[in-house]
Structure 1
Amino acid sequence: MRILDRYVAWSVIEGTLLTLGALVPLMGVFILADEVESIGVEHYGLLDAVLFMLLSLPRYLYQVFPIATLIGALIGLGALASRSELVAVRAAGISVSQIVRAALAGGALLAILAVLLGEVVAPAAEQRGVELRRQALSGDVAQRTRFGFWAIDDGSYVNIREIRSGAHLSDIYIYRVDSGAGSLVATHAGAARYSEGHWVLEEIARSRVDADGVEVERIDRAEWDSMLDPELLKVVVADPQSLPVWGLYKYIRFMTINEQDAGAYEVAFWGKVLHPVLTLSMIFVAIPLLLGSSRSTGMARRIFAGILVGILYYLLSRTFAYMALLFGMSPLLAAIAPPALFVTAALLLLRRLG
């Protein structure tokens, strides 16, 4: 890579890192503000809220990374324009396409950083944060593993393999030791739903194991008095945005095999697959915004323009995501349409700029 290419690429990287550095404390304040009402409930204190905030930050940084890249490119390259360095570069015979390639080279490194953040750091950190928060708020001993959700419920050991929503469960195992009778009672229910203040188990197979042998009974449905409530279980439902790509792929296959609607997870899957492309497209969009403004344009105006474009992109992407969920649009098309539209608009602007 030539010296000039490295210089332009580093300008984009430096501007993006500065933007992320400014966004981190801002997002931290917002997350803590949401936790204020929970501080003081059970064992949930200020230090727990701060730890939850720190563990949640990687996911939020991953989500705003493309917009931060857009603003960072405007800041980094805008600084070059303000010092007339871009004018000197173009006067030396360097074309706009060469400047774009150099900026995209810096964007490629940023895209790799975003993938590591979203696929390695954020999922593990957020899962740990949610578990710590739930334990502090409820006081229950519970854990989510690859074998489902485990909890101790009034002396019983509960394993829930699938939480469709806070009020609908599937594949539930309940183990209870009856020390007085010297027996173990193992209950399996195909499904459970929360209705009128209590759980109703369905498709029940109950086995009682004692010194005399094993006794099995089958019941169509029965009430289940449990300390686990829907509000508690909602916090452990897998948020599609918090899962890594491979986890989303496996979950989509699981839901498809079981003939369940995986639309939200498919939209999230393709959004994550195309996240690096989105990061690069934001840099590409920044070039015509920068070249189309005068050298006297202040940094504040460039940042404001980047924020407006970021808001527009967010609204557009949410619109396509809802269209995929509500009207059956292809999740791949819903994910690729917004960056494609922005890149097309940037190409048209670059063509007009010559």
Structure 2
Amino acid sequence: MRILDRYLAGAVIGGTLLTLAVLLPLLAVFVLTDEMGRVGSDGYELTDALLFVTLTMPRYLYQVFPIATLIGALIGLGQLAARSELVAMRAAGLSIARIVQGAMLGGLLLALLATSVGEVVAPAAEQRALAVRATATSGDAVKISGSGFWARDGNAFINVRQIEPGAKLSDIDIFVIEDHRLTSATHAREARYRDGHWVLSDIERSQIGLDRVDVERLDQARWDSLLNPRLLEVIVVEPHALPIWGLYRYLRYMQETEQDAGAHEVVFWSKVVQPLLILVMIFVAIPVLLGSARSTGTGIKLFIGIALGILFYLVSRTFTYLALLYGLNPALAAFVPLALLTFGAVMLLRRVG
């Protein structure tokens, strides 16, 4: 039985890898086409765009993994069905539960691979991609490191720990160096871009003299800087590109500061269910294949599987929008579509059995 389990798992894994080998180049072409609009402006060249696209591919691989798994399972197990191997297995006494178990073994390995890519490789590659684009468009004036975003603005050196959508910066340090010595150090809790300039909030500023340091605290102050939202757009990391532990820390920060974290919570829970979704997609593929093994061709089954994948995507997006619009529980928004898909697969499997 272990040999058959490995055989079924290998069919699922092989079909999924084949599907990814077809999908990823197509995605790369689409992303490169979108990125070509930046080429030729602000020092951004074709080589930079190609490197950026290459570095963002792990994130896209992670995002398409569930549908690729569904298609791959249909292809891999469909080949076994086309050669009547699944029929022979059942005739030899192999139950549907054992077929599911063997396929799920492959799904478990794929889920581990997808999680490794999505939570380890993709975030690091995405950060590197943004650093490549930021450096290309700003020269050496902008750097991204483990300590956050660094920029030089005249004789001031700026460190921003958190860049948020909507032209908002959090946890900012501004160091001014004159005559080869530090003359001023300013820390602000946040900054917002308004009417062509930045407004700092909750400020602590230290004026450093030769023999003394004067500290002042301000609620707000104007900050004129060369930094602008257009530049920051190229380095803002979207929530879906963050690792799950990074999202968790960010959610805690937003909750502590009493900010709306609904969109980030939805992304967090969608990442939680991603490995389960990969397993469920394989589970869905089995009744689709076994339900009409003799009367339906592989192409029709593949079409049915893709249609189910698209339907699930639409349902899950609907629940996401409902959660954001009506303030529903983000965990429910992530798990309900998965539960509906699992229930439908169980019903189909019982009918086949």
Paired residue secondary structure (1:37): coil
Establish whether residue 168 from structure 1 lines up as the match of residue 168 from structure 2: yes
Offset at 1:344?
Answer: 0.3
- Tell me the residue number matched to 2:227: 228
In 2 relative to 1, CA 103–179 (structure 1 residues): closer, same or farther, beyond 3 Å? same
Instruction: Say yes or no: does 1:144 pair with 2:144.
Output: yes
Contact 1:75–1:302 (8 Å) recurs in 2: no
The residue aligned with 1:198 is 197
1:115 alignment counterpart: 115
Q: CA deviation at 1:296?
A: 5.4
Deviation track 1:25-56 (CA, whole Å, cap 9, x = no partner) reads 10110110011111111221111111111100
Whole-angstrom distance in 2 between the partners of 1:200 and 1:325: 29
Moved more, 326-335 or 29-38: 326-335
Mapped to 2, the partners of 1:201 and 1:207 lie a distance apart of 15
Identify unmatched segments of 5+ residues in structure 1: none
Assess, with a 3 A threshold, how the Cα gap between structure 1 residues 159 and 353 changes in structure 2: closer, same or farther: same
Give the TM-score taking structure 1 as reference length: 0.94
Residue equivalent to 1:126:
126
Tell me the secondary structure at the aligned position of residue 7 of structure 2.
helix
* Structure 1: distance between partners of 2:167 and 2:239: 18
- For residue 210 of structure 1, report the CA deviation from its aligned partner: 1.7
Query: What letter is aligned with 1:135?
Result: T
> What's the secondary structure of 1:274's corresponding residue?
helix
The 5-angstrom pairing of residues 84-99 of structure 1 reads: 84-99=84-99
Aligned AA for 1:164? E
1:334 is aligned to 2:310: no
Alpha-carbon displacement from aligned partner over 1:106-151 (angstroms, at most 9, x marks no partner)? 1111111111111111110111001111111222532334433221
Within the alignment, does 1:21 sit opposite 2:21 as a pair? yes
Cα distance in structure 2, aligned partners of 1:197 and 1:33? 31
Deviations 1:296-339 (A, max 9, x none): 53333333222211211111111122222222222221111111
The verdict on how the C-alpha distance between 1:351 and 1:17 changes in structure 2, with shifts beyond 3 A counting, is same
Other structure's SS at 1:204 match: strand
| Structure-2 separation of matches of 1:15 and 1:129 | 29
Amino acid at match of 2:206: S
1:292 Cα deviation from its structure 2 partner: 1.9
The equivalences for 1:162-311 within 5 A come to 162-179=162-179, 184-295=183-294, 297-311=296-310
Q: Structure 2 CA distance, aligned partners of 1:84 and 1:227?
A: 68
Please list every run of 5 or more consecutive structure 2 residues that lacks an aligned counterpart in the other structure: none
Distance 1:164 1:53, change over 3 A: closer
Conserved? CA contact 1:82–1:296, under 8 Å: no
1:166–1:233 Cα contact (<8 Å) kept: no
Alignment check: 8 A CA contact 1:159 1:174 kept: yes
Residue identity in the other structure for 2:270: G
Contact 1:142 1:150 in 2 (8 A): yes
Asked if structure 2 preserves the Cα contact closer than 8 Å seen for 1:56 and 1:125, the reply is yes
Instruction: Work out the CA distance in 2 between the residues paired with 1:298 and 1:154.
Output: 68
Kindly provide the CA deviation profile for residues 192-223 of structure 1, in whole angstroms up to 9, marking residues without a partner as x: 22111121223333322121422334444332
Distance 1:330 1:146 in 2: 33
Alpha-carbon distance in structure 2 between the residues aligned to 1:130 and 1:38: 13
Distance in 2 of aligned mates of 1:201 and 1:276: 42
**What percent identity do the matched residue pairs reach?**
59
- Note the alpha carbon deviations across 1:175-202, whole angstroms, 9 max, x for none: 112329x661222233322111121223
1 CA distance for matches of 2:168 and 2:243? 24
What SS does the aligned partner of 1:113 have?
Answer: helix
Q: TM-score, normalised by structure 2?
A: 0.94
Please give the alpha-carbon distance, in whole angstroms, between the structure 1 residues aligned to 2:162 and 2:25: 36
In 2, are the aligned partners of 1:66 and 1:282 still within 8 Å (CA)? Answer: yes
Asked if the contact 1:190/1:202 (under 8 Å) is kept, the reply is yes
In 2, the alpha carbon distance for the partners of 1:242 and 1:88 equals: 45
Moved more, 304-313 or 96-105: 304-313
Residues 6-36 of structure 1, C-alpha deviations (whole Å, 9 max, x = no match): 1111111110010011111101101100111
- 1:47 matched residue in structure 2: 47
Moved more, 122-131 or 237-246: 237-246
Q: Which residue of 1 aligns with 2:319?
A: 320
CA shift at 1:295, angstroms?
Answer: 3.3
Residue 71 of structure 1 aligns to which amino acid in structure 2? I
Q: Secondary structure at the match of 2:40?
A: coil
Report the AA paired with residue 102 of structure 1. G
- The 10-residue stretch of structure 1 (70-79 or 208-217) with the greater mean CA deviation from structure 2: 208-217
Q: 1:165, CA displacement in angstroms?
A: 2.4
Distance change in 2, residues 1:220/1:332 (3 Å): closer
